[in-house]
Amino acid sequence: MSLRHDTRTSTDDSARGDTLGGTLIGNIRPAPPTVAWPCQPLRARLLGGEGAAPLQECWRADGAVQEGRSQGIHWRRTAHLLFGVIELDEGSAAPARADETPLQATSRVLYERLFDLLRAQRLPQLWRVWNYLARINDESHGLERYRQFNLGRHAAFVQAQRETGGQVPAACAIGVESGPLSVAFLAGGTPLVPLENPRQVSAWRYPAQYGPRAPTFSRAALAHPPGQEALFISGTASIVGHETLHAGDVAAQCRETVRNLDAMVEQANRAARSARPFALAGLSHRAYVRHAADADTVRRTLQPLLGGAPLVCVQADICRADLLVEVESQGIQPLPPA
């Protein structure tokens, strides 16, 4: 069995029996095209592809594919892999207590449903999560919306008796202009190998100045589909220690981001069992760019530093208002024969 990831101009080929699910990126208003597979719409403008059809990113796997819907989650699975998408409108979840905000309640309930599905499908290991929420840097109820999201997510991890530091999935949390809280995830039956960046404080150890609950994700993770090793590098930005560097300078932020990506690849190769080492040039990358006017600078700066690897740029907000760019990366290698 093998896990594969591909990106192409949007064409619904869901009749293929190997599609687990994926993402549609770009011009998807007023509604994304209808596809049969679990689809997370990334309601963000493609940069450098204005007027083009949306990009379709799919995860595919060998083996018989089963499909279902559970508590609003559309999912597909094989014997060893599970991909799902859930979107919830804010305010659709009842607060658990008087001081729980609508976004906090929605993120808590969404993650509770996600963990219910993993238990029911007996694929309990959460490897990678993509979180998209509207107006991520805005403040309401006296607290930034990203910090409200973190409160709800953390509560669901605690309720499910899951670790909130250390053994936590790779993830990103990205801001879009509008829309429901949207979460896609990839899970399996084998535990992940969490990776942390020696240049950075682990996100789940952030000091209280970044909110009442630290974010629940690892900087990167290795996961092991049968016969393979997958590297998922979480959304990575110009942060050293726990502080943003190069405020207002998008090119410098790009360069610092790549230093952090390099550090994560080095950590991955220390722990990896794959037949050959991971390298930035062998990964695929997605850059979230806060200001569309910075797109050319971001691409010109990143592309050579990433060794010419595939790079998709979209306009989106990032979890800190002073961050101008964030990059996530992934790659899959074969394991050597046993």
Active site amino acids = 326
Residue that the structure tokens 């989106």 belong to? 316
DSSP state for residue 72 in the 8-state scheme: T
Helix (H, G, I), strand (E, B) or coil at 99: coil
Sheet holding 81-88, edge to edge: 66-70, 73-77, 81-88, 181-188, 125-134, 170-176
Q: Positive or negative CA dihedral for 78, 127, 265, 286?
A: positive
Q: Residue 310 has which token pair?
A: 């595939």
Q: Can you list the alpha helix ranges (DSSP code H) found in 135-223?
A: 145-159
Helix (H, G, I), strand (E, B) or coil at 262: helix
Q: Could you give the CA distance from residue 230 to residue 48 in angstroms, rounded to a whole number?
A: 28
Other Cβ atoms closer than 10 A to 162: 17
Q: Could you give the CA distance from residue 273 to residue 290 in angstroms, rounded to a whole number?
A: 36
Q: Could you give the CA distance from residue 264 to residue 292 in angstroms, rounded to a whole number?
A: 27
Give the 3-state secondary structure percentages of the chain, helix then strand then coil, rounded to 5.
Answer: 25, 35, 40
Whether a cis peptide bond, with omega within 30° of 0, leads into 212 is: no
Q: Are 83 and 75 in contact (CB under 8 A)?
A: yes
Q: Residues near 246 by Cβ (< 8 Å), separated by ≥ 6?
A: 238, 252, 253, 256
